Amino acid sequence: MEQTINKKNVFYWSLYGFAKDIVIITFALYFSEWLVVENHVADIWYNLIFVGASVLLLFTAPILAILADKKNQALPYLRIMAVFLFVTTLAASLFAVFDYNMPKFVLFAALAFLLCNYFYQFSLIFYNGFLNQLAPQNKRGLISGIGYTSNWLGEIAGLFIALPFTTGVLYWFGHAGRAQTFVPATLLFGLLALPMLFLFKETKKPVVASLNIKQEYRDLTAKFIRLCETPGVGRFLLGYFVFNDAIITLENNFAIYLQQVYHISDSLKTYILLALLIASTIGAFICGWISDKVGLKKTLLITLASILIILPALALTYNFTLLFALTTILGLAYGSVWVASRAVLAFLAPPSELNHAFSYYTLMERFATFIGPMAWGLALFLFRQHQIFSYRFAIILMAAFAALGTFIIRKIPSDKDKIVSA
């Protein structure tokens, strides 16, 4: 029977994406500044939070993903990760909002933020793996685009929700300022995630299976090698790892970059990021539609090529108007790159190992928060006597990572060739 688009499942899946990104954008924008600017924690320590989450993910994610593949079910594992994500995010929120210059609360908030990053990334393994259940192959670019459109809309909503709290128009309790944004974002995530967790219907029949943890750990390397031997999978994962060094590191540090280089207010930063997110939303939807027409691989390569042009221009500009324009253009590329990437792996990976493949997809993305942040932090340290130059040089480094990643994936199989030959 020909697979059709399950519209209800697409809605629940997209709503979950919308919900999680409300809280993600809030923490990406305001937690970094709460930690680095308000509490004077060095940039390198902020970036090491993502490194710690990545290490935890490395030792746990592939095993649970293998179990999900064996049981032919992913929703139970998404539910677990979503609950832990909510709990740890709420903990980070409360430690931050009740911080009255108490160093221990800053440490506890940072540790909770590390854990919520861990559970967020863990949840993405199963969330992304649902793509093949939602639509047939020739529509997965479109559905991936709809999913990321919802993600970016969630981030736009997150900015609007946060704005009155950062400006002091609204006040909850505890410490005033950036920390006020965390609790409302967390509560909205918990509420809007519920339909996905309880109403989504998996189209795959569950299988009774057990897991020998010790044996799976012993076999993990061999299974990873076999997965990478699937045509295009190993090359794609390596390239994805490298170009994500550029994308995610810049995303995590962009608010700090605007603060340290341009010294602009939080309100103006919000409007700049809002323009980026609106452009990302448009880019995600257009990319999803175009990629099914011209091919996922071709769309991904074009998107990466545009990023290679934008990043050096962003680093070299001293004009604020041009900065705003480049940031908006970058948003179009940002909105496209993950749409195509997720659909490419869903095409390349063996259907019986989809969660396993997406565990390494997530790991590649997370370890892009290892080398990239270390390179960013090293650039700032080496040129610490020239602060503005150090931040601009760090962006140039990210462009180099993006170029290398693009070079690596240029020879992966084309989805269009396979569909035509079939």
What is the rounded distance in angstroms from the CA atom of residue 417 to the CA atom of residue 413?
8
pLDDT digits (tens, 9 = 90+) for 134-147: 878 778 888 888 98
Task: Give dist(CA 64, CA 222) in Å, integer.
Answer: 16
What is the C-alpha separation between 346 and 142, in angstroms, rounded? 13
Identify the pLDDT of residue 209: 65
pLDDT in tens, 21-73: 999 888 887 887 788 777 777 777 877 887 788 888 888 888 888 888 888 78
Taking each helix axis from N to C terminus, what angle separates 387-409 and 296-316, rounded to the nearest 10 degrees?
A: 160
pLDDT of 190 reads 95
- The residue among 122, 106, 105 whose CA lies nearest residue 45 is 106
CB-based contacts of 175-178 (< 8 A; 24+ apart in sequence) = 175/96, 175/97, 175/98, 175/99, 175/100, 177/34, 177/38, 178/30, 178/31, 178/33, 178/34, 178/38, 178/266
Helix (H) or strand (E) holding 16: helix 7-26
78: exposed, middle or buried (C-beta count within 10 Å: 0-12, 13-18, 19+)? buried
**Mean pLDDT value of segment 396-413:** 92
Going by pLDDT thresholds of 50, 70 and 90, the confidence category of residue 306 is very high
**For the chain, what percent of residues have pLDDT higher than 70?**
93
Residue 143 DSSP symbol: H
The fourth-level CATH superfamily of domain 7-198+211-421 is MFS general substrate transporter like domains (1.20.1250.20)
Alpha helices for 98-181 (secondary structure H): 103-129, 131-134, 140-166
Report the distance separating Cα 200 and Cα 407, nearest Å: 39
**153 near 279, Cβ under 8 Å?**
no
> In terms of pTM, does the model score above 0.85?
no
How many Å apart are CA 76 and CA 97, to the nearest integer? 32
Q: What is the largest CA-CA distance in the chain?
A: 65
What dihedral do alpha carbons 54, 58, 64, 69 form, nearest 10°? 100
Task: Find out whether 22 and 187 touch, Cβ atoms under 8 Å.
Answer: no
Percent of the chain exceeding pLDDT 90 equals 27
Give the residue, 1 or 373, on which the prediction is more confident: 373
**pLDDT of 1 higher than 70:** no
Q: Per the structure block, which two tokens stand in for 60?
A: 């746990």
Spatial contact of 99 and 38, defined as CB atoms under 8 Å apart: no
Written as one letter, the residue type at 403 is: A
**CA separation, residue 206 to residues 67, 73, 76, 123, 209 (Å):** 12, 6, 11, 19, 9
The pLDDT of residue 304 is 93
- Please report the pLDDT score of residue 421 as a whole number: 36
Q: Which residues contact 11 (CB under 8 A, 6 or more apart)?
A: none
pLDDT exceeds 80 at position 410: yes
